[in-house]
Each structure stands twice: as C-alpha cells, then as structure tokens.
C-alpha cells in the first residue's frame, strides 16, 4: 500500500447535530420537533434519556468553540434545528433562532474554523408531522426549500459547505420500516416512499442553491455500510449482490445518479413496494445528481452478508445497552442476512471495527460515482470513564488512527477526499443509546449534571494529527 500524505487544505473536522448537543429545547421561541415528542413516549430511548438539556451547547457554544480552537480544528460540522428557525415548520421566522446560528458561525469563522452546515439532522418540526405526516407527503418539498433558502440567505456569505440531509437512509429506515425512530411506523412501502421524497428534497435544494448562485459546495450525507460475503459460496455471493442492490446502491444511486439500480427496482416492484417515480421526478433527480458537488459519507462499520432463505430471519434485536453480544442476526428473508464476522472485532454495541472497510468503501464509491467525498462522520461509541480529571481513551485513538490511515490509503489510490470529521466533538445524546455511549473528543460530565467539559486523551492526540496534517497516523502502527 502506498504511503501518502493528506493534501494541503484538508478539512480536519469534527461533528455534532443540533438535537444531540444543543439542549435548550424550548428556549427563545423554538418549536417542538418530532424528537421532542418521541422521547416523551415511554420506552422509546435507552432509560428514557432525552435531549432537553443534552450538552447545553446552546448556552455554552463559546466555550465549545474555544476548545475547537485549542484543538486546531479546521472544520466543524453541526446542524441547524429547523424548528428553531421556523417553530411551525414554515410561516413566521423566529429571529432568535437565526441569531443563535449567526453567532455560532461568527464565532467559528472568527477563530479560523470552517463551518460545515447540515440543514436536517432528524429534528423535523412537529407541526409538519401533524399537518401532513412529515416525510410521507410531497408538501415537505416546498417547506424544506423555503427553510433552506432562509438559511442560504442568512448564512450564505459565511458558510461554504452545506449538507442538505444527514443519513436519509437511517431516519427513513428507523422511522418507517423498523419503528425505532419517530414516527414509529413499520411498512416497506412507506419506507421506500419517504426515502424517495428525501431524494426529491435533496435534488430540489441542491438545484435551488445553484440557481441562486450561492458560493460554496453542497451535497448530502449517507450512512454507508460496505459489505463482504460470509463465504465464497455462490449463495452468499448472491446475498451480497442482493444487499447492494436493495440497500447501498439503492440508497446512493438515486442521490448520485438520479435513478434506482435495475435489480433493486425489480425486487421492490415484485414486493409491491416500488415508489412512484414520475417523469418530472426523474428529471429533477438527474439534475440534482449532476449539480451536487460532493458526497458526504458517514462510515462506522462494514457488514458481513450471508444467504437468508425465504423463511429466514427478519429484523432482529439491536444492541442499545452496550452489552456486547446482544445484537442478533437480522436480514430480509429471501435476500440476505448480516452475520457476525469472526475476523473482525466488535464494539460494546456490536458494531464491527473495520478500518480497511473504509478504504474499500471509498474505492467502491470512486468507481461508481466519481464524486469527491467528505467523510462527515466516523468515530467510536464507547464507555468512557473520568478518573482524576482525565479520560484515557486509547481505544478511541487506536480506532481513529487506523481509520485516518485508511483514508490516506484511499487517497493514494485516487479517491478525492476533501475532509474527515470525527464523530463527535463533545459527548452527546446518542438517539437510542442515551448518554452512556460516548463518542466525543471532549468528555461532558452528564453524570454529575455539571456538564463540565474535560479534554480526553484523544483530544490531545487529534490536535497532533491536525498539526501534522495527518502524518502521525501514517508513522504509527496502532
């Protein structure tokens, strides 16, 4: 493998999302989001945790940006909370909401940190869910475009990187197929229909951005889980093809090529679940794909895929407790199932730790789409402990170092990689796993309630990574 460095100007970043860090869920005129509602339903999140206060970033953003500056961060990815700007999803603008993000963006740029802004990281205004069922209705396209235009007009001068949607694949799967996120539905047709609408929103907003001539770059971030076959057997290799056709390529082709893959269409048509795609949709999606500047990739793990007979497993249990081994096999009967890979280590939440999967996935994306990539999330969720004012998270350092090295290998193999954002900057609310699953470079003392920030060992290490433009990861074998 070639040893390659990172290009000059590489965006060494770190990321967060509004609902997971801000708190202040009712402050200064913010309207309720579907997550404010969901966390109040019994049994929906780990031990009933919610983001009412979270890391209180809304009130502590100056301190947080101060830490980013100390770290030498080049880019900070965060999301705007739609219901802070439009408490009802549309109509009257809440100026205090705009003011908060204006201040945050100013604080970042004044400290030499590039803001990377996500417009939607899952906190849909509850009012739009109530009015027309949120993502189930095409009405959301105009309301989202109006919200996006408001943000472009307000922040366009200072923000050069925009991510329209964060992981539309995850919020539609969990919200409409697996009933684990709001609005808690479980129906294949509705899942595919809402996913189609997310693609229309993405394309509409990308087009709007370009037509209005805003400077900068725009794309969306998809969660990408590349996969291997469990064995060389013909049936496992077929399962792998099914996985890509109905999963990865299904989800990404419509954003990056403007059309669904043929094999996936066949399958979903037979299953009676193919979304309606009009000629106007096709034209819009194709245009959106042409105009998007980059693909955001959230990479955490790979999957290992095996044959799953027609009477095989469906969706199994998800490990949200951190008790290793509680995740069960899951799959789509007749298509594929995902199995544990004996050659790979797993986290306490049963996520496969596979740095080379990142290199492999980036190369697949290069072949298929040829788009520049921004890694908008990569990180390790773990139990951390605060001991005498320090957090010794060597395991996180090892994880990140190996993934950064995998990025450098992908670059050496021709991938155009613009940046890398660790997930996450501070510890935050993990949607289904509460506060015990920590990702941050900065520890937040949720247990005592002081929310005190403590720099973890990984913070000091990432500071050196940035200062050396990634070189220290190429030199050390971890």
Find, among 324, 349, 348, 352, the residue nearest to 338 by Cα. Answer: 352
- Tally Cβ neighbours within 10 Å of residue 312: 16
In the complex, the smallest distance separating the C-beta of residue 428 from ligand BG6, rounded to whole angstroms, is: 7
Strand order through the sheet with 336-339: 227-229, 303-306, 336-339, 330-332
Which of 135, 431, 459, 461 touches ligand BG6 (CB under 6 A)? 431
Q: Which of residues 61-100 bind ligand BG6 (CB under 6 A)?
A: none
Instruction: Kindly name the residue from 70, 167, 345, 464 that is annotated as catalytic.
Output: 167
Q: Judged by CB under 6 A, does residue 338 bind ligand BG6? A: no
Length of the chain (residues): 478
Annotated catalytic, 377?
A: yes
CA torsion sign for 307, 312, 315, 316 is: negative
Which of 225, 409, 430, 458 touches ligand BG6 (CB under 6 A)? 430
Size of the site for ligand BG6 (CB under 6 A): 15
Instruction: Kindly name the residue from 22, 259, 290, 377 that is annotated as catalytic.
Output: 377
Residue position matching structure tokens 């042409």: 290
Q: Which of residues 139-178 bind ligand BG6 (CB under 6 A)?
A: 166-167, 170
Given the complex with ligand BG6, which of 332 and 421 has the nearer CB atom? 421
Three-state secondary structure call for residue 297 = strand
d(CA 115, CA 160): 7
Given the complex with ligand BG6, which of 145 and 170 has the nearer CB atom? 170
Q: Judged by CB under 6 A, does residue 327 bind ligand BG6? A: no
In the complex, the smallest distance separating the C-beta of residue 166 from ligand BG6, rounded to whole angstroms, is: 5
Q: Among 70-78, 140-148, 234-242, 429-437, which window interacts with ligand BG6 (CB under 6 A)?
A: 429-437
In the complex, the smallest distance separating the C-beta of residue 372 from ligand BG6, rounded to whole angstroms, is: 20
Find, among 437, 439, 438, 442, the residue nearest to 455 by Cα. Answer: 442
Distances (CA, A) of 94 to 84, 85, 98, 412: 7, 5, 7, 47
Given the complex with ligand BG6, which of 305 and 380 has the nearer CB atom? 380
Q: Judged by CB under 6 A, does residue 348 bind ligand BG6? A: no
Given the complex with ligand BG6, which of 117 and 411 has the nearer CB atom? 117
In the complex, the smallest distance separating the C-beta of residue 270 from ligand BG6, rounded to whole angstroms, is: 30
Residue position matching structure tokens 């129906």: 187
In the complex, the smallest distance separating the C-beta of residue 427 from ligand BG6, rounded to whole angstroms, is: 11
Q: Which of residues 183-242 bind ligand BG6 (CB under 6 A)?
A: 223
Q: Judged by CB under 6 A, does residue 318 bind ligand BG6? A: no
Three-state secondary structure call for residue 305 = strand
d(CA 133, CA 135): 6
Given the complex with ligand BG6, which of 17 and 177 has the nearer CB atom? 17
CA torsion sign for 432, 437, 438, 439 is: negative
Which of 298, 347, 409, 458 touches ligand BG6 (CB under 6 A)? 298
Distances (CA, A) of 43 to 49, 165, 180, 269: 10, 27, 10, 35
d(CA 217, CA 292): 8
Given the complex with ligand BG6, which of 168 and 275 has the nearer CB atom? 168
Q: Judged by CB under 6 A, does residue 381 bind ligand BG6? A: yes
Q: Judged by CB under 6 A, does residue 377 bind ligand BG6? A: yes
Q: Does residue 424 have a cis peptide bond before it, meaning omega lies within 30 degrees of 0?
A: yes
Q: Tokens at residue 311, please?
A: 């009477």
d(CA 80, CA 67): 20
In the complex, the smallest distance separating the C-beta of residue 242 from ligand BG6, rounded to whole angstroms, is: 23
Residue nearest to ligand BG6 (CB): 430
Which of 11, 12, 13, 17 touches ligand BG6 (CB under 6 A)? 17
Q: Among 83-91, 135-143, 397-405, 424-432, which window interacts with ligand BG6 (CB under 6 A)?
A: 424-432
Q: Judged by CB under 6 A, does residue 296 bind ligand BG6? A: no
Q: Tokens at residue 335, please?
A: 């298509």
Backbone angles phi, psi at 346, to 5 degrees: -125, 155
**CB–CB of 325/251 below 8 Å?**
no
Element (H, E) at 1: none
Q: Among 207-215, 308-316, 329-337, 431-439, which window interacts with ligand BG6 (CB under 6 A)?
A: 431-439
Annotated catalytic, 235?
A: no
Q: Among 148-156, 173-181, 425-433, 446-454, which window interacts with ligand BG6 (CB under 6 A)?
A: 425-433
d(CA 5, CA 22): 35
In the complex, the smallest distance separating the C-beta of residue 334 from ligand BG6, rounded to whole angstroms, is: 27
Residue position matching structure tokens 């433009």: 469
Residues with catalytic roles: 167, 377
**Residue ranges in contact with ligand BG6 by CB under 6 A:** 17, 20, 166-167, 170, 223, 298, 377, 381, 423, 430-433, 437
């Amino acid at each position: 493998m070639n040893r390659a460095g990172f290009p000059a100007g590489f965006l060494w970043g770190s990321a967060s999302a509004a609902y997971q860090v801000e708190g202040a869920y009712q402050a200064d005129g913010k309207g309720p989001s579907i997550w404010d509602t969901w966390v109040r339903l019994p049994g929906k999140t780990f031990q009933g945790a919610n983001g009412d206060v979270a890391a209180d970033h809304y009130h502590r953003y100056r301190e947080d940006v101060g830490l980013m500056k100390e770290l030498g961060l080049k880019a900070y990815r965060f999301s705007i909370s739609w219901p802070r700007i439009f408490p009802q999803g549309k109509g009257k603008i809440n100026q205090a909401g705009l003011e908060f993000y204006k201040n945050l963006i100013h604080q970042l740029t004044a400290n030499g940190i590039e803001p990377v802004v996500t417009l939607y990281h899952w906190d849909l205004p509850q009012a739009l869910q109530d009015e027309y069922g949120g993502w189930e209705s095409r009405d959301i396209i105009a309301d989202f475009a109006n919200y996006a235009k408001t943000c472009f007009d307000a922040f366009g001068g200072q923000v050069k990187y925009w991510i329209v949607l964060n992981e539309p694949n995850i919020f539609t799967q969990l919200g409409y197929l697996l009933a684990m996120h709001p609005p808690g539905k479980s129906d294949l047709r509705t899942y595919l229909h809402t996913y189609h609408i997310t693609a229309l929103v993405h394309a509409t907003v990308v087009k709007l951005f370009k037509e209005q001539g805003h400077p900068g770059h725009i794309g969306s971030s998809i969660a990408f889980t590349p996969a291997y076959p469990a064995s060389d057997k013909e049936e496992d290799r077929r399962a792998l093809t099914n996985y890509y056709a109905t999963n990865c390529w299904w989800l990404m082709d419509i954003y990056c090529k403007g059309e669904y893959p043929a094999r996936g269409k066949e399958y979903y048509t037979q299953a009676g679940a193919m979304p309606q795609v009009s000629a106007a949709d096709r034209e819009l999606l194709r245009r959106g794909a042409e105009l998007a500047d980059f693909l955001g990739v959230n990479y955490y793990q790979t999957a290992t895929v095996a044959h799953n007979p027609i009477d095989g497993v469906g969706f199994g249990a998800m490990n949200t407790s951190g008790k290793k081994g509680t995740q069960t096999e899951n799959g789509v009967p007749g298509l594929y199932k995902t199995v544990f890979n004996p050659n790979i280590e797993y986290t306490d939440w049963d996520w496969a730790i596979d740095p080379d999967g990142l290199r492999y996935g980036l190369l697949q994306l290069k072949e298929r789409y040829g788009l520049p990539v921004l890694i908008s999330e990569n990180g390790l969720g773990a139990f951390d402990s605060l001991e005498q004012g320090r957090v010794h998270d060597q395991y996180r350092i090892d994880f990140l170092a190996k993934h950064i090295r995998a990025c450098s290998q992908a670059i050496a193999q021709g991938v155009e990689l613009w940046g890398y954002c660790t997930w996450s900057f501070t510890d935050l609310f993990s949607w289904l796993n509460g506060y015990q699953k920590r990702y941050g470079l900065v520890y937040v003392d949720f247990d005592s309630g002081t929310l005190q920030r403590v720099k973890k060992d990984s913070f000091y290490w990432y500071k050196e990574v940035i200062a050396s433009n990634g070189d220290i990861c190429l030199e050390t074998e971890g």
